[in-house]
A and B are shown apart, each in its own frame.
Chain A
Amino acid sequence: MEDDRLLRGHGRYTDDIGEGALECVFVRSPYAHARITSIDVTAARDLPGVVAVYTAADLPFGDRDLPLLIPHPNLTHGRTQRCLASEVVRYAGEAVAFVVAESRYVAEDAAELAQVDYEPMPVVITPEAALRAEHLVHDDVPGNVAAEMLQEAGDVDGAMAQAPHRLKLRLRYERGAANPMEARAVWARWSEAEHKLTIYDSTQSPTSIRGGLAVLFGLPESNVEVIAPDVGGGFGPKIMLFYPDELLVPFAAMQLGRPVKWTEDRQEHFTAVNQERGQVHEVEVGFDDDGRLLALSDDFIHDGGAYTPYGIILPIISAAQLPGPYRIPNYRVRFRDLYTNAQATSPYRGAGRPHACFVMERTLDAIASELKLERVEVRRRNLIQPDAFPYEVGVLWQDGNMTVYDSGNYPELLDRAVKLLGPKPEGENVGMGIAAYVEGTGVGPYEGAHVQVLVSGKVMAATGNPNQGQAHATVWAQVVADELGVDVKDVEITSGDTRRMPWGIGTFASRSAVLVGNAMHAGARMVAEKAKKIAADHLEADPADIELAGGRAFVKGSPDKGMPLGAVAVLSNPVRYAFGGGTEAATQFAGRSRPGPPLPDGEQPGLEATGYYSPPGSTWASGCHAAYVRVDPRTFRLEILKYVVVHDCGRVINPLVLQGQIEGGVAQGIGGAFYERLAYDDDGQLRNASFMEFLMPYATEVPPIEIDHIETPSPLNPLGVKGAGEAGVIPVGAVLASAIEDALGVPITEMPLSPLKLFELSQAGC
């Protein structure tokens, strides 16, 4: 549905909106940790073409900490940054000043003239260093510990003591970055006459941005419009509020009385946007002679970065998702979320799940190796069985409820994956890897959708939830069309525009198909009921006998006795003045079949309704990936010979869209496992902050992927759907680790890998 516009180059991304906007550039800290001793922006302000330069001192909100989005009782030492730093900077890239000029070129010239003096301070850059706490990131946070959380289900110590076998593993997963092809951007206009602020923002949550800006600027929410237009990929880090620009651009627009735009460059995306990952796990596992899990204890540290604006969702997800599709009778997990002098971490596609899956699957491989059992067999013996649902894991989920799997068939996934993978290819240094996972999707609190039938018969449906490339319009239009009995081409979706639908949360955590899909379903169903009632009135029939199909409402069994849906829309709005579009049918002398007031008691005019969906709990998608790889034992080049995915996201709405989500996810997984890495030096400088050095895979690095599905519908929602956005990415690291270990015979305990890393592991093994 979105294709035609995008293919013709008529997409509308935030930077495409010009309208004479002033352009901006940040002055950012080059130091990862430093005290600011002076800021002098006089020369920058004096440069011709510069309109304004802001420092913290120039902002009415300059001394306020930005919001902590998801508070949690265990987050005892939460800290957030300020819009512009004026005292201490805690990561390289933290914003210090903001230049507004007639053009981006001039703004960059001016930024170079800003004089900021720093007194460098000691840098804490790895989670291990943070734990040692020789230096503190925040001088009032002892031990660099932002949060600590311990959960236990069962009696781990008791079961461990009695286990016939025990193993200990140390597993490490480094930071990662989403890097959507469109970096972030914000455009704002202030209308003094209307007292109205209009923002275009490449965000995953326009409704929250609107709420926040209304609070900050003391405006009624109805005077703040936030639109996420076309968004060039999000994958997680575009759901943050606020990045400093999201306050500074509207502020500058209000101050200067002109539209203002800031477009992030790729370097800034690397150094100022939230990142993900960075965990070190210490696992102890107890198991019996058959490889069955008896107890598992995991103690991990999480690299939270310099601030915790997003709370501790990532480690909570890791802790809850670690058991995956496997039954662990006694499970204990503790994490500590630690401050380091790097960007804050927040979810990136997978959001702590790839780490959890890596830990669990590496553990199962270690058990297989210890007992000299087949790796597939060890997994089969530990899978939760299809009759065990709903299944309680025994630890907390990210929505504050206990983690409960709603449905699934994990043995079927495993069997199909093994079958799809087929026999091992001939040749030396070929390895097999396999990993299974679950994914809690469709997290609350809610989403909404406004559905309206126009007098033309066209259907407009709107949600506050934006589209970042998941073909939402296609998927949702299908849901609405099914419910109203119209052609999918007659449904037009508007997403991420608070003018059309002011309520909602955002797109993240594979939730849009579940939440917005079901909200669309609910809204469309309400409209359908209303249409049946009105049509029944007019046709002198029982609403229960009215059917909606082919764009018409008619009496079941007598298609001639009916009217177009557009005519029903006309009748839904009794008018005095016939203003065209067939509205004469709803005027007062047109004749009515029903006595009483023109608009029946309790009814509202218009063939429209707003539906909401708030899930009782998450839906749990699941899957199994397997691969054959060849690793050149001399160059350590990786060749993925075959990669298969078997996936279960409940009822499938659109197979082509789903395939795209999985293929794209696997490619990101391959990038994160073998090509991409954020390389910080001891001074906290990111040494590879460009696409020349941060190696996102090209087509040449991503193999074709074979996909199979099973469908175990979710009992939790009317559509029976589960989310699919992150499924592709979660197990890729675990699969490749297992396959490479099998191919090369060296133990793999960390992610990401590279030829260099494999060379070093091989050398160590010699």
Chain B
Amino acid sequence: MKVNGVEHPAPHDARRLLSDHLRHDLGLTGTHVGCEHGVCGCCTVLLDGAPVRSCLMLAVQAEGHDVTTIEGLARDGEPLHRVQQAFHENHALQCGFCTPGFVMSVTGLLARNPHPNALEIEEGISGNLCRCTGYASIRRAVEQLAR
């Protein structure tokens, strides 16, 4: 599977979740794990460009696909990706644990719909849980991006 543009061999253990493979086999610990039953959205990554839960996929299923994690959005030394930058400007993160999942969800949303309206933004970020911000600042960040 290709992760952030780099080809990696398939994991040998079929039951290994994609989230564990990314975090612990490939060292891409920016993808977080908050519930491991597909509700919280912390583990959201892009699979061939569309956001999915990496805790609800087996790593072997990603073989032959393109996976993008938070580390793949802006390379080290490069400026922040525009979604990351908007989160920064709007203080749309506190503890930062849910943040990579939100950033990936929003990246997927904007790729599909570059100018979502308020309702579409609400729906677009409603699959991710945040316990710190109360979502207001995240909403503001996406509104800024949608303009």
Contacts and interface: CB of A to CB of B under 8 A. Distances in A.
Contacts of B99: 6-7
Interface string B90-132: 0101111111100100000000000000000011011111111
A470 B93 CA distance: 10
A3 interface: yes
B94 A470 contact: yes
Contact of A232 (B35, B36, B95, B135): B95
Contact of A3 (B30, B36, B93): B93
B3 interface: no
A489 to B, nearest CB: 14
Nearest to A8: B74
Given A18-B24, A105-B13, A105-B16, A8 B132 contact: no
A469 B134 contact: no
Contacts of B147: none
Interface in A392-447: none
B54 interface: no
A690 B35 contact: yes
A182 B32 contact: yes
A176 to B, nearest CB: 13
Interface in B35-62: 35-37, 39-40, 42
B96 A6 contact: yes
Contact of A691 (B35, B84, B123, B136): B35
A195 B42 CA distance: 38
Nearest to B30: A9
Contact of A4 (B39, B88, B100): B88
B108 to A, nearest CB: 15
Contact of B131 (A6, A231, A233): A233
A266 B137 contact: no
Contacts of A704: 136, 139
Nearest to A704: B136
B23 A181 contact: no
Contacts of B35: 266, 690-691
Nearest to A470: B94
B131 A181 contact: yes
A700 B32 contact: no
Given A664-B132, A690-B35, A8 B95 contact: no
A372 interface: no
A505 interface: no
Contacts of B130: 181, 699
A699 B122 contact: yes
A199 B80 CA distance: 32
Q: How large is the interface on A (under 10, 10 to 19, 20 to 34, 35 or more residues)?
A: 35 or more
Interface in A639-659: 656-657, 659
Contacts of A104: 20
Nearest to A9: B30
B18 interface: no
B67 interface: no
Q: How large is the interface on B (under 10, 10 to 19, 20 to 34, 35 or more residues)?
A: 35 or more
B136 A469 contact: no
A667 B125 CA distance: 15
A448 interface: no
A690 B37 CA distance: 8
Contact of B97 (A182, A664, A696): A182
A16 interface: yes
Contact of A15 (B33, B76, B87): B33
Contact of B96 (A230, A691, A698, A702): A230
A327 to B, nearest CB: 32
A181 B98 contact: yes
Contact of A702 (B20, B28, B136): B136
Given A182-B34, A182-B97, A183-B34, A664 B134 contact: yes
B8 interface: no
A478 to B, nearest CB: 14
Given A7-B84, A470-B94, A179 B131 contact: yes
A154 interface: no
A13 B34 CA distance: 12
A362 B28 CA distance: 50
A180 B95 contact: yes
Contacts of A246: none
Interface in A1-46: 2-4, 6-13, 15-16, 18
B91 to A, nearest CB: 5
A320 B63 CA distance: 60
A692 B31 CA distance: 21
Contacts of B136: 663, 702, 704-705
A611 B7 CA distance: 51
A11 B30 contact: yes
Given A10-B30, A691-B35, A660 B139 contact: no
Interface in A268-292: none
A2 B96 CA distance: 9
Contact of A13 (B73, B84, B97, B135): B97
Contacts of A728: 134
The residue among A7, A179, A265, A469 with the most chain B CB atoms within 10 A of its own CB is A7
Nearest to A23: B24
26 contacts: A6-B99, A7-B84, A7-B87, A7-B93, A7-B96, A8-B30, A9-B29, A9-B69, A9-B70, A9-B71, A11-B97, A181-B40, A181-B98, A181-B131, A232-B95, A232-B97, A266-B34, A469-B132, A660-B91, A660-B132, A663-B137, A664-B132, A664-B133, A692-B37, A692-B39, A699-B122
Nearest 8 CB-CB pairings of A with B: A9-B30, A469-B95, A232-B97, A667-B134, A6-B96, A9-B70, A691-B39, A469-B94
Interface of A: 2-4, 6-13, 15-16, 18, 104-105, 178-183, 230-233, 235, 265-266, 468-471, 656-657, 659-660, 663-668, 690-692, 696, 698-700, 702, 704-705, 728
Given A698-B135, A700-B122, 8 more contacts: A8-B71, A13-B32, A656-B91, A663-B134, A664-B94, A690-B35, A692-B39, A704-B139
